[in-house]
Amino acid sequence: MRKYILAIDQGTTSSRAIIFDEHAQTVSFSQKDVNLHYPNNGWVEQDAHDIWKSVKHVCQKALEKASLKPTDISAIGIANQRETIVLWDKETGDIIKSVIVWQDRRTADYCRELKEQGLESTFQKKTGLLLDPYFSGTKLRWLLQNTPNAMAKAKKGELICGTIDTYLLWKMTGGTVHATDATNASRTLLYNIIKHEWDNELLDILEIPKEILPEIKDNSCLFGETTKDFLGASIPITGMAGDQQAAMIGQACFEVGMMKSTYGTGCFALINIGDKFKISKNKLLTTVAYQLNGKTTYAIEGSIFIAGAAIQWLRDGLKIIENASKTEEIAARISDNGGVYMVPAFTGLGAPYWDPNARGAIFGITRDTTTDHIIRAALEAQGYQTKDLISAMIEDSGQQINEIRVDGGMVENNWICQFLADITNNTVNRPQIIETTALGVAYLAGLHVGIYSSLRQISNNWQMSRSFKPDMIDSERAELYNGWKDAVKRVL
């Protein structure tokens, strides 16, 4: 009897594979880094073959470490970095130019032109998104327009495109299945999330031929079967979701008003708003949280581009810490931030500011400032950025937030979790499994093959590791947050 699920989490900086058993417990884990390339100012690219090789490698390793045979795996789930786009030749599999990563800003000018033409509301009311280079649509247009003959080939159906989920699915099925899921589609600027279809008007504006787009499916269904050369047996792929939506499933945020916030390279907070589409008035995004049995649940999302990346910069750029986990004791050994604020707008500011041209800054430096203050400012920034999002989310969703469920590599840091609770004045709950992305897509895959029975069972499975309660007086909270607001104003 097959009773294991293999979950793939193809992230921006690494690919991971985790095998879960029928009780959603981790059986084995494997991870491999993936390189990013920066060929021009603001450009971020990856090599599709590197991504594919890393995924194959971690899946094989996870299987080996668990001492399982491929026939023990009941189903595979794929979660992926979102918005990153690949265009390739349907016959040969050759990649057109490169993979353009979500962080890439090369289409900033074009997005501004579209905005100046008054088109932002056209996109927002159909896709829930704003006109920002972050999303896949303008990147795809760039690939088509900057490659000789690409447009003609695309129109003849010789090229196909997709986000990373689609590309992996196509590779795993030996080039036979070209499909995506509703959450990944909802990040392209091309998918009408109310009518559930690729939108002809938006495709016309961006000059993208419909022929190249994948079929859109539910998050839990039969996407295809792997070829035998992937792991040695044919295995069904039955779950797929963008990483943040997968994390929302892994965090069991199934009720309206439930919120999760993930702190990895970037930070992504999503709140469940139920089955009614709602446009944000505070420059947050409306997105598909999940689509099951043809029924869509929506979320409002706040995306912050730089979270853990600021800690990486302290380590690799400034070289003032040895490793990320050291920041916890450093922040705790000083009594306050000494008036120092860091606005980590390294690649512009995301929600709720959306200023692609903003750049990072550190304010409030005096003769007393030490590297400890700068390190603490980088950690505090995560709290302030989250508070910005939460205030906007409460306004947009009309929901009070009772609890923030956190995950991602950064939340191993207790100091950050406590500061988050203090500055947002909310309870912060950290679950036992912080690999919620992989867990979420394992649930999606397992739901379809009957290993997991229902969303209710998944909710019951959610287990807390630690809860952080707010412990800061209102006046201190207000003073700290005012300092942040002032710093952001100077950066914009």
Binding residues for ligand ADP (CB under 6 A): 11-14, 264-265, 308-309, 311-312, 324-325, 327-328, 408-410, 412-413
- To ligand ADP, the closest distance from the beta carbon of 151 in angstroms equals 34
Toward ligand ADP, which CB reaches closer, 180 or 413?
413
Decide: 151 and 145 in contact? Cβ < 8 Å: yes
Decide: 354 and 347 in contact? Cβ < 8 Å: no
Toward ligand ADP, which CB reaches closer, 62 or 73?
62
Toward ligand ADP, which CB reaches closer, 10 or 291?
10
Residues 6+ apart with CB under 8 A from 377: 337, 340, 341, 342, 362
CA pseudo-torsion sign 269, 272, 277, 282:
negative
Residues 6+ apart with CB under 8 A from 116: none
- To ligand ADP, the closest distance from the beta carbon of 53 in angstroms equals 18
Helix, strand, coil share (%) of the chain residues, nearest 5: 40, 25, 35
Alpha helices in 21-162 (DSSP H): 48-65, 108-116, 120-127, 136-145, 150-155
Residue 332 CA: distances (Å) to CA of 92, 328, 379, 469: 55, 6, 11, 17
Q: Which of 97, 178, 200 is nearest to 144 (CA)?
A: 97
Toward ligand ADP, which CB reaches closer, 410 or 451?
410
Tokens 């089955």, located at residue: 275
Backbone angles phi, psi at 332, to 5 degrees: -75, -20
Angle at 94 between CA 91 and CA 96, to 5 degrees: 120
Q: Which of 263, 324, 279, 270 is nearest to 299 (CA)?
A: 270
Toward ligand ADP, which CB reaches closer, 85 or 304?
304
Residue 154 CA: distances (Å) to CA of 144, 168, 216: 8, 20, 19
Toward ligand ADP, which CB reaches closer, 11 or 344?
11
- To ligand ADP, the closest distance from the beta carbon of 250 in angstroms equals 13
Toward ligand ADP, which CB reaches closer, 375 or 444?
375
Decide: 260 and 299 in contact? Cβ < 8 Å: no
- To ligand ADP, the closest distance from the beta carbon of 303 in angstroms equals 12
State how far the Cα of 46 lies from the Cα of 488, in Å rounded to an integer: 31
Toward ligand ADP, which CB reaches closer, 128 or 409?
409
Residue 458 CA: distances (Å) to CA of 24, 63, 90: 9, 24, 38
Rg (CA), the chain: 22
The one-letter amino acid at 340: V
Toward ligand ADP, which CB reaches closer, 224 or 302?
302
Toward ligand ADP, which CB reaches closer, 256 or 324?
324
Q: Which of 159, 143, 141 is nearest to 213 (CA)?
A: 159
Which residue(s) pair with 33 in the sheet?
14
- To ligand ADP, the closest distance from the beta carbon of 31 in angstroms equals 9
State how far the Cα of 120 lies from the Cα of 136, in Å rounded to an integer: 15
Toward ligand ADP, which CB reaches closer, 250 or 409?
409
Toward ligand ADP, which CB reaches closer, 297 or 327?
327
Produce one character per residue of 215-245: b if its CB has 16 or more CB atoms within 10 Å, e if not: ebbbbbbebbbbbeebbeeebbbbbbbbbbb
The 8-class DSSP code of residue 37 comes to B
Toward ligand ADP, which CB reaches closer, 71 or 325?
325
DSSP 232-274: SS--EEEEEEEHHHHHHHHTT--STT-EEEEESSSEEEEEEEE
